[in-house]
Amino acid sequence: MPAYVLGHKIPDSDSICSAIALAHLKNSIGESAAPARLGELNPETAFILDTFGLEAPALKTSFAGESVYIVDHSDRAQSPDDLSEATILGIVDHHKLGDITTSAPLECWIRPVGCSNTIIKEMYDYYGIEIPKAIAGIMMSAILSDTVIFKSPTCTPLDIAAVEALATIAGVEDAKAFGVEMFKVKSNVQGTPVRELVMRDFKDFDMGGKRVGIGQLETVDLSVFDPIKADLQADIARLKAEGERHSVCLLLTDIMQEGSELLVVSDDLSLVENAFETALVEGRAWLDGVLSRKKQVVPPLEKAFA
């Protein structure tokens, strides 16, 4: 029986690509492993897998009795609901340390870098395993996605070096140009239901005992959201009520302007205003320079909610 390699709920490109890349590495060093996904692929991830000719991992949401490797998170809220009934063999992640615990020793490769795939690149090097061309391509893509083509404050020299090495293996001549193509796919919101957009990259956090949902949509041109901004705002209000959340934030990130428009609904808007030292107008504010949920949005909110 293989160990499953799984990312977080509402998978993004890093969660899917790192599951595939880590499963391949584990198989290469003699451990049986298979990637899994906890939800539907987003358009960006589908574009990446299609470009490099790889199949999506099988959909699987229950892991009771299984052995698992966890990638791209260490929070129970983002894990399968029955994770406590699985045996966690390891965690590869680049976020803050969450509340997952284990009852036996395990391996954790957690680094303050921009993307889980940067760490998996390090693991391939550690074990001296050659990275197949297609897997190098999806690993490179995930790093470009997570680091917003190196613009995110989460990006480190290790991420840039990993992209350069992976692009060479994948035969991609201009990684940055490929990244812009990828973000154009991500920016295409026409005809997509509003709820699907809000949920495309949405995570729940426990902040001081309160449930706070934070979504993010990245675009190369913020104006694509102009016709639907009111709908997005109405939808996060519904999402707040449905999930008994204290607050829901949606970041509309413009990677060219390098900042995000924040949409918020909350039981206490002043907490959010304090977190970002800004005044909300009709539940909105422009956060200049804010590209990273992980580094620029979650920590100040956690501090405000503490």
- Least CB distance to a second copy at residue 52 (A): 27
Residues with Cβ within 8 Å of residue 265, at least 6 apart in sequence:
233, 236, 237, 240, 247, 248, 283
Does residue number 87 form part of the binding site for a second copy (CB under 8 A)? Answer: no
Does residue number 128 form part of the binding site for a second copy (CB under 8 A)? Answer: no
CB environment 109-138: b (16+ within 10 A), e (fewer): bebebbbbbbbbbbbbeeeeeebeebbbbb
CB atoms inside a 10 Å sphere around CB 206: 15
Spatial distance between the Cα atoms of 26 and 34, rounded to a whole number of angstroms: 9
Does residue number 160 form part of the binding site for a second copy (CB under 8 A)? Answer: no
**H or E element, residue 249:** strand 247-254
* 10-18, 61-69, 90-98, 160-168 -> range binding a second copy (CB under 8 A): 90-98
Please name the residue that has the structure tokens 């492993």.
33
Does residue number 190 form part of the binding site for a second copy (CB under 8 A)? Answer: no
How many residues bind to a second copy according to rule CB under 8 A?
30
40, 204, 273, 302: residue in contact with a second copy (rule CB under 8 A): 302
* 177-185, 218-226, 275-283, 292-300 -> range binding a second copy (CB under 8 A): 292-300
**What 8-state DSSP symbol labels residue 223?**
G
Does residue number 161 form part of the binding site for a second copy (CB under 8 A)? Answer: no
Does residue number 141 form part of the binding site for a second copy (CB under 8 A)? Answer: no
100, 250, 264, 297: residue in contact with a second copy (rule CB under 8 A): 100
46, 108, 199, 280: residue in contact with a second copy (rule CB under 8 A): 108
Q: Residue 151 phi/psi, 5° resolution?
A: -85, -20
Does residue number 257 form part of the binding site for a second copy (CB under 8 A)? Answer: no
For a second copy, give the closer residue by CB, 74 or 145.
Answer: 74
CB atoms inside a 10 Å sphere around CB 104: 7
Cβ atoms of residues 219 and 187 within 8 Å:
yes
Does residue number 60 form part of the binding site for a second copy (CB under 8 A)? Answer: no
Spatial distance between the Cα atoms of 8 and 72, rounded to a whole number of angstroms: 7
- Least CB distance to a second copy at residue 88 (A): 7
Does residue number 294 form part of the binding site for a second copy (CB under 8 A)? Answer: yes
Residues forming contacts to a second copy in the complex (CB under 8 A) are: 88, 91, 94-113, 126, 154, 294-295, 298-299, 302-303
